[in-house]
Amino acid sequence: MADDLESIRRRKLEQLQQQQQEGQQQMPGADMQAAMQQEREQAEMEAQKQAILRQVLTPEARDRLTSLRLSRKELVEQIEQQLISLAQGGRLQSKIDDAQLKHLLSQMQSKKHEPSIKRM
């Protein structure tokens, strides 16, 4: 897990350095530093989020979320935020497996997509 975090940080740092080299002529120095700081903070928050999700989800459940993110990004973000808040609040007793994640997803989708058909 620490290796994954370190590799994410390293990749983000490389991206930031490359962006800095490309954009040095376009942005004044102060604005660039603020933008780089913001990028670093976002990368750090994303790494922390992924670390928490690794702790609360089984590999199969993480794979399901990753594949679902391609088509239902908003739903995945909602589920991730709920799982993170549950984990931080200490309300999760064990890891969420694929079956439990499917159940959570079906509950979330049923709330969002209730068709209302009225016949006359």
pLDDT mean values, one per 10 residues, the chain (120 residues): 72 80 62 84 90 92 92 91 89 90 84 70
Cβ(46)–Cβ(84) under 8 Å? no
- Predicted confidence at residue 60, as pLDDT, reads 95
Which domain does 68 fall in, by range?
A: 58-82+97-104
**Residue 102: per-residue pLDDT:** 92
72 domain-assigned:
yes
Please report the pLDDT score of residue 36 as a whole number.
Answer: 85
Q: Output the pTM of the full model.
A: 0.62
65 and 14 within one domain: no
Determine, yes or no, domain membership for 51: yes
Let me know if residue 88 belongs to a domain. Answer: no
Same domain, 47 and 72: no
Q: Same domain for 42 and 68?
A: no
What is the tally of structural domains in the chain? 2
pLDDT of residue 112: 57
